[in-house]
Chain A
Amino acid sequence: GAVVSQHPSWVICKSGTSVKIECRSLDFQATTMFWYRQFPKQSLMLMATSNEGSKATYEQGVEKDKFLINHASLTLSTLTVTSAHPEDSSFYICSARVGRATNTGELFFGEGSRLTVL
């Protein structure tokens, strides 16, 4: 199957700082990537849809100025958590579908990034 790589796998930062998480599709091009957040023992909550070459689409309740998404190439999307606070501590995981947007294709997940804000 297709490979999605995410970096870093874990990060600890001080409150008020910004953290950038990278998501790469290694062996395919992804025009669309999805960012999810998962709190302990909870489900994967879709945060935003990242579109190559255009602005991301955010889900209701997700602050676009706090969670900056950039999808500058067909293999890389980044999520920057700005001015992080302890309540932003979570498991962030990206995913991508192979090829052009098609709503019946398998979603491949990155390894996830565990963010802890002190």
Chain B
Amino acid sequence: GENVEQHPSTLSVQEGDSAVIKCTYSDSASNYFPWYKQELGKRPQLIIDIRSNVGEKKDQRIAVTLNKTAKHFSLHITETQPEDSAVYFCAASGRDDKIIFGKGTRLHILP
């Protein structure tokens, strides 16, 4: 089955700087890659997703890139703000319709 690795597990960046989180996946048949943000005690919320026919997608300060050959994808957050502090999960979905999550990255935005 699919296996998703996510790095780093913890990331601290100065407010206003950029944050990058990287993930790799194992199943070459996976073709949907969402990113979720989870605040303490709350449900995960989709922040951006990318499908395998696209290499890059951007939504304001958030962008995701996908390299299918290397089987890795990344989340980029620019001009970070205090409200960006949360846990971020990457995920991959393939032939069996399941969405498998990475272990998460705890992002701290420093004042």
Residues on A lying within 8 angstroms of B by beta carbon are 32, 34, 36, 41-46, 49, 93, 95, 97, 101-107, 109-112
**Contact residues of B between 49 and 108, Cβ < 8 Å to A:** 49, 51, 89, 91, 93-104, 106
Contact (Cβ within 8 A) B102 A46 = no
27 contacts across the A-B interface (CB closer than 8 A): A32-B97, A34-B98, A42-B104, A43-B89, A43-B101, A43-B103, A43-B104, A44-B89, A45-B101, A46-B98, A46-B99, A93-B43, A95-B99, A97-B97, A103-B93, A103-B97, A104-B32, A104-B93, A105-B32, A106-B46, A106-B49, A107-B46, A107-B91, A107-B99, A109-B43, A111-B43, A112-B43
In the complex the two chains form, what is the Cα distance from A107 to B36 in whole Å?
10
Residues on B lying within 8 angstroms of A by beta carbon are 31-32, 34, 42-46, 49, 51, 89, 91, 93-104, 106
Contact (Cβ within 8 A) A103 B94 = yes
**Across the interface, which residues of A come within 8 angstroms of B45, CB to CB?**
109
Contact (Cβ within 8 A) B98 A43 = no
Contact (Cβ within 8 A) B51 A104 = yes
Contact (Cβ within 8 A) B44 A109 = yes
* Majority secondary structure, A binding face: loop
In the complex the two chains form, what is the Cα distance from A104 to B44 in whole Å?
17
**Across the interface, which residues of B come within 8 angstroms of A109, CB to CB?**
43-45
In the complex the two chains form, what is the Cα distance from A101 to B98 in whole Å?
10
In the complex the two chains form, what is the Cα distance from A62 to B94 in whole Å?
21
Contact for B44 among A41, A44, A46, A102, CB less than 8 A: A44
| A42 to B: closest C-beta gap in Å | 7
**Across the interface, which residues of A come within 8 angstroms of B42, CB to CB?**
111-112
**Across the interface, which residues of A come within 8 angstroms of B100, CB to CB?**
46
Q: A42-B104, A44-B89, A46-B100 are in contact. Are A104 and B43 (CB under 8 A)?
A: no
Q: A42-B103, A43-B102, A43-B104 are in contact. Are A102 and B43 (CB under 8 A)?
A: no
In the complex the two chains form, what is the Cα distance from A107 to B42 in whole Å?
15
**Across the interface, which residues of B come within 8 angstroms of A46, CB to CB?**
98-101
Contact for A44 among B32, B97, B101, B106, CB less than 8 A: B101
